[in-house]
Structure 1
Amino acid sequence: MTQTHITLPPEIFKAYDIRGIVGKSLTPEICRAVGQALGSLARERGQSAIAVGRDGRLSGPELAGALMQGIVSAGVDAIDVGCVPTPLTYFAAYELGCHSCVSVTGSHNPPDYNGLKMVIAGETLALDAIQQLKARIEAGELLTGSGTIRSADVRDAYVARIVGDVKLARPLKIVIDCGNGVAGGIAPALFRQLGCELVELFCEVDGNFPNHHPDPSKPENLQDVIRALQETDAEIGLAFDGDGDRLGVVTKDGEIIFPDRQLMLFAADVLSRVPGGEIIYDVKCTRLLAPFIRERGGRPTMWQTGHALIKKKLKETGAPLAGEMSGHVFFKERWFGFDDGLYTGARLLEILARSADPSAVLKALPNATSTPELNIKMAEGEPFALLDELKASARFTDAQEVITIDGLRVEYADGFGLARPSNTTPVVVLRFEADNPAALARIQDDFRRVLQAARPALALPF
């Protein structure tokens, strides 16, 4: 055991990962300490090596280097898999047989952020496990030893695995927008090998993100894809987030197909081979998803938001497919069960290539009147306090069901309203959906009444 005298900013230890501002709340010294703690945990779980990958952020090499120094100081080997999308780091844990990995990534945060997504002995670290990591460092409960650092390149194996699995019925011409994120280093090669002709946007990896922010969940970041579809004969558009684990999809005429509708298409496809399969989705998804899954013989399961929490549920249930409104999609059928925007894009094209008009297939998916994700900014800790209060005392008019697995999701005969505390930032996340605009307005009024009764001074975004 070694003693450590390092101050750890509590705010970087998030629900699903570690994330902070480089040089301020997240430093090489902190990454080294986390590496030693992860190495210690890996050893306790009988593991001897951890794969380390990093996204295209400018701070990646230094922070990944410090992390690996920490890992080897605990007597565990570090396998450097280089600058690759987060799903390739997850893939490396399988391909190299080490079952543990860390992706040094700031995901879709601004350029001055970075962070760590961590898997030890096949378990994605989240919630208490991340807090225990912090406590271990502060208590100095760290093993020592002398591991080695070596390099491995799993990119060819990853592409070969997907190309061997996914078959397109015909060649497609597609737009791909990597937003200067790390997916740009591999996506063009992957989709060409699948037989696609490409219109490439911002596929040069650049941690400054000079063109637009690499977050396809925001419509403003998909405008370049929409324009390219108008100006070329490409049939469909795909966009990836900063670390390549999320996907955005745009039709030929510029309609954004949000991930809960993408999940319908994937569910129908997977259920054709896995009859009666369970499909998991998060509380933010459309209420049209559950009946769609049931009609195709599947079992819908609504669950908490958060990639780590969905992965845990996937493991527990053995479900073949899961997805989140944020764009994380998890295929267990034919794949490994981790979220992977590139593989999800390949599976989407496999389905769409069977049709002469891919956009028509996407546009035919059930749709409803809905809001995007809305946020109420509050002080740290306040969102959880507010939701606890509302769960205890709020009464909603004409509610058919109140679901409390993650905040409050109130189901009405003609729509739903959602309020949940974010696990990553101090906001209450809201989303509304209904059969028509009048029903949407009525449901929002019901939520407004309840929220204003609890916090009269709250500035509501609707």
Structure 2
Amino acid sequence: MLTDKIKLGPRRLKVVADAGNGGAALYIEQFLQSLGDEVIPLFCEADGSFPNHHPDPVRRENLTQLTEIVQKHNADVGIAYDGDADRLGVVDDQGRIIWGDRLMVLFWREILAKHPAETALVEVKCSQALVDEITRLGGKPVFCKTGHSLIKAKMNELKLLFAGEMSGHMFFADELYGFDDAFYATGRLLRIVSNTERKLSELVSDIPIYHSTDETRIDCPDNRKFKVIEEIRKGALKEYPAITIDGVRIIYPEGWGLVRASNTQPVLVARCESTSSEGLEFIARDLKERILRAGVMDFTWE
């Protein structure tokens, strides 16, 4: 089914596939070879003890070996998978990580060219660069809650064609069935790259890279986390506009700061972004003070 739906362009690619010893290890080499790629396998032996690194491509430290192999072999792209292969992480030909929101820019450029004025769900953790690019392409960005089940339900309700998450879930309903299959998302990315002579690093070079923190997880008991968010929300709205569909995304003059309660763990999830380093310093400090005042233990930005 995948090879019927995905036909690559004339350029043959060299791809490093890091299965992280998870479920992708069973078939990723076979799949990529069937597309016509040259495959360099990395940790493609299924092993539930995960002897090399945890299979979570949203964590920078889990992409270290992939980055090294991409650069060593002058590969076109490196792709890492989570344990059950419904999320992917991407490293470009220069060994630089392309996080989920920047990856979605590439997919939206392809999709909005065919489906102008499509509504585009944007989860609250995503960069303003994604929002701005969707708008530039003629799409209609709408913020939504984090959570793959919530996003799929909203896509189905509104009959939307594509959405994604920072975490690497990508949901295609334009040419697939609306669920998050990292093998299919890989194929869509390789289709884009194989149909141009430009390198992946060049394809993303015009997407602004703002100053930002990584996603930071802060311990907070389940019976407290939503009360903490509500307290922060009330205080923030007295001083700044905010998006409150999922936690609080405070809109500062030079960027934004988000804190939300995890759907699955006793933690708060926070992230900040700014157009300047000074702006990021201010936003990170201000948001941290608000979180601490709400009674949360001290933490360090990642």
TM range (shorter): over 0.9
Match of 2:126 in 1: 285
Contact 2:292 2:298 in 1 (8 A): no
Q: Compute the displacement of 1:396 (Å).
A: 6.1
- Is 1:348 the equivalent of 2:189? yes
Residues 79-111 of structure 1: per-residue CA shift (max 9 Å, x gap): xxxxxxxxxxxxxxxxxxxxxxxxxxxxxxxxx
Q: Compute the displacement of 1:395 (Å).
A: 4.7
Q: Counterpart of 2:166 in structure 1: which amino acid? A: M
Match of 1:459 in 2: 298
Between the aligned partners of 2:177 and 2:92, the Cα distance in structure 1 is 28
Contact 1:420 1:429 in 2 (8 A): yes
Between the aligned partners of 1:450 and 1:411, the Cα distance in structure 2 is 14
Q: Counterpart of 1:461 in structure 2: which amino acid? A: T
Once superposed, what is the RMSD of the aligned Cα atoms? 1.4
- Is 1:263 the equivalent of 2:104? yes
1:280 partner SS = strand
Q: Counterpart of 1:371 in structure 2: which amino acid? A: T
**Gapped runs of 5+ residues in structure 2?**
none
Equivalent residue pairs, number: 299
Match of 2:115 in 1: 274
Contact 2:225 2:268 in 1 (8 A): yes
Where in structure 2 are the equivalents of 1:242-391 lying within 5 Å?
242-356=83-197, 357-391=199-233
Q: Counterpart of 1:167 in structure 2: which amino acid? A: K
Contact 2:218 2:299 in 1 (8 A): yes
1:285 partner SS = coil
Between the aligned partners of 2:93 and 2:294, the Cα distance in structure 1 is 45
Contact 1:396 1:446 in 2 (8 A): no
Between the aligned partners of 1:360 and 1:450, the Cα distance in structure 2 is 39
Q: Give the % identical residues.
A: 40
Q: Compute the displacement of 1:363 (Å).
A: 3.3
Normalised by the size of structure 1, how large is the TM-score? Answer: 0.63
Between the aligned partners of 1:452 and 1:211, the Cα distance in structure 2 is 36
* Larger RCO (CA within 8 A; separation ≥ 6): 2
Q: Which segment is superposed worse, 231-240 or 433-442?
A: 231-240
2:189 partner SS = helix
Contact 1:281 1:303 in 2 (8 A): yes
Where in structure 2 are the equivalents of 1:22-421 lying within 5 Å?
161-169=1-9, 170-356=11-197, 357-395=199-237, 397=239, 399=240, 401-421=241-261
Contact 2:8 2:190 in 1 (8 A): yes
Match of 2:262 in 1: 422
**Gapped runs of 5+ residues in structure 1?**
1-160
Higher Rg of the two aligned structures:
1
